[in-house]
Amino acid sequence: MRNPTKMTDSTPSYPAIARRKQAHLESQIPAEWKLPTSSIPPGMLSLEDSITKAQQYQRVNVMGIPRTCGVLNSTELEITENWDIRGLLRVIAEKRYTTEDVVRAFCKRAAIAHQLTRCLSEPLFDRALQRAKSLDRHLQKSGKPIGPLHGLPVSIKDSFHVKGVDSTTGIVGLAFQPATENSPLVDLLESLGAVIIGKTNVPQTMGALDSCNYLFGRTLNPLNRQWTAGGSTGGEGVLIAMRGSMVGFGTDVGGSIRVPAMCNGIYGFKPSVGRVPYRGQEKGHMPGKGRVSMQAVAGPLVRSVADLGAIMEEIVPRAELFAEDCIPGRWQGEFPFRLPETQARNVTIGVLRSDGIVEPLPPIARVLDEVAQALRRTPGIDVVEIPVPPAFTKCQAVAGRLMIVDGGNPMMDLIEGTGEPLIPWLQSWMKRRRELTLSQLGQLQDQRSLLERELLKMWTLNSGSERRIDAIIHPVAPHPVPEIDRYNAVGYTSSFVLLDYPTGTIPVRPVRESDLEIGKEMDAPVLGSWDKANRLLWNEQTVNRRVYLDSPLSIQVITPKQRDYELFRAMEIIDRAVKVRDGEKMAAKL
């Protein structure tokens, strides 16, 4: 059989391959699940236009369309909107809904979400419904679920392998090369009873923070099409926000879980290395790159902190049995993350306001301060300010160099092989470079070790073991959710991959009119080129600040290496404090 990605003449082959891939995707959505044209807001441009003419998108929120389009019946709306993970698993086990009913409801909702946002890369609806029927037969015959996640609809980032299905990572040259085996995470999820309903869109090469490529187009933010959906797990962030899946799994080496969580107003969890199976995602990279450079991790995106706990408590204890890149683990923690009335000492939360390279824009500084104030009012919590450690300002540079140890040349070979252009976000910086020598790599890893050693002091405030910081709050980015292709500073997220600190995203509130400070510019000195670029997202001569109105404002929560359960508990405490604050404000208005 002819290789469909091989160029046979001087004409670029990527458009033809993309058309074939789009036709295949379209064929996976049943006709009765297709939206009427009147339900799709104008501006769904052609595949290539969605990348090259993205600035034409208008401010449109499509979150309510699944409820009003008529594709979902009342029971399917109830299934997809009324349950958290534990609640849905309970009613499936009690046979209130069949697994087939649940999976069909989420497949239909995922299909709706895709037609509005281009969030899917591989719909797996037929496969999922067949598995759902098998799970129902098992439950009917044995009276017991097949596992603790029996019937749970799950979606995964395009980079994970499902046998018989492509894993293109947004590169045309990898289309029509189906995987020969599942990724370990897929095997683990299915062993627990979960049902994989689809794979989701990513940026070309997975090396950008805006999810678009020439195979599937641009994934649009359902809250506002002018905003980026984030990347590289952008399709997953959109699908979870639109309730097209109960939990999505992405990967993170520079912020690729936490950034889409921020952009779509949901929760993201970047664990430590070894907690969730990652293996099998090196297409386009030097083999073994993850073992010698920055080691990416896999983790979940969900709609609540409780759902984080529900999924991680099943995965972490079993991960070592499925993948060699995982370590033995238990989903339980240590003092002091207990209820305030039973713990021996207060929980101490540090506030790290900046990375020292890029100054947060006013809405970001304000929301971080609001969360700190809410925590100060919470019994059992101490809040302390953490000055930016000098070593922290060096993390971004080391992380950036470790991400390109292979020079990016294997990836460029794939892209150039079909004549595929680079997407806008990558055009300014992606190019061929020299591979690092062993000596250069060793020097970089030595610098990394020094930074890790220096930043241990951040957790003790330079006082040895006298006062330990239990968790830190920090911006996800120094700017609000930006317009398409304008995401700026990755150092706020990539530094914690370099350090291997588990890190999560919590949505706090939307941007308000008062956050925009119309007519007032920042007067703090510009710190450097990254900071200068960030100011362009606030300068009223280069942006209309009202574009940020109603966009989600989020924070990061960080704990030390391998303290993943403690991160979950810290997120619980902080999320509860934020909700109490919002509840008190609402009550004061009544």
- Active site residue ranges: 157, 232, 256
DSSP summary character for residue 391:
G
CB crowding 522-544: b at 16 or more within 10 Å, else e: eeeeebeebbeebbebbeeeebe
The tokens of 240 are what? Answer: 């979870």
**253 known member of a binding site:** yes
**254 known member of a binding site:** yes
Question: Left (φ > 0), alpha (ψ -120 to 50) or beta: where does 30 sit?
Answer: beta
Contact 162, 152 (CB under 8 A): no
- The C-alpha atoms of residue 222 and residue 242 are separated, in whole angstroms, by 8
Task: State the virtual CA torsion across 313, 374, 261, 257 in degrees, nearest 10.
Answer: -60
**230 known member of a binding site:** no
The tokens of 104 are what? Answer: 């069909």
Run of H or E including 192: none
**27 known member of a binding site:** no
**62 known member of a binding site:** no
- The C-alpha atoms of residue 590 and residue 580 are separated, in whole angstroms, by 16
CB crowding 19-36: b at 16 or more within 10 Å, else e: eebeeebeebbeeebebe
Contact 239, 200 (CB under 8 A): yes
What is the biggest distance separating any 2 CA atoms in the chain, rounded to whole angstroms?
73
Strand 153-157 and strand 195-200: pairing? Answer: parallel
A 10 A CB-CB count for 122 gives 24
**232 known member of a binding site:** yes
Run of H or E including 27: helix 14-27
User: Would you call 213 helix, strand, or coil by DSSP?
Assistant: strand
Q: What are phi and psi of 251, to 5 degrees?
A: -130, 160
- The C-alpha atoms of residue 189 and residue 318 are separated, in whole angstroms, by 10
Distances (CA, A) of 199 to 114, 160, 216, 236, 495: 11, 8, 12, 8, 28
* Burial bucket for residue 9 (CB in 10 Å: 0-12, 13-18, 19+): exposed
Q: Which of 4, 60, 64, 487 is nearest to 259 (CA)?
A: 487
Binding residues: 206, 232, 253-256
Binding residues for substrate: 206, 232, 253-256
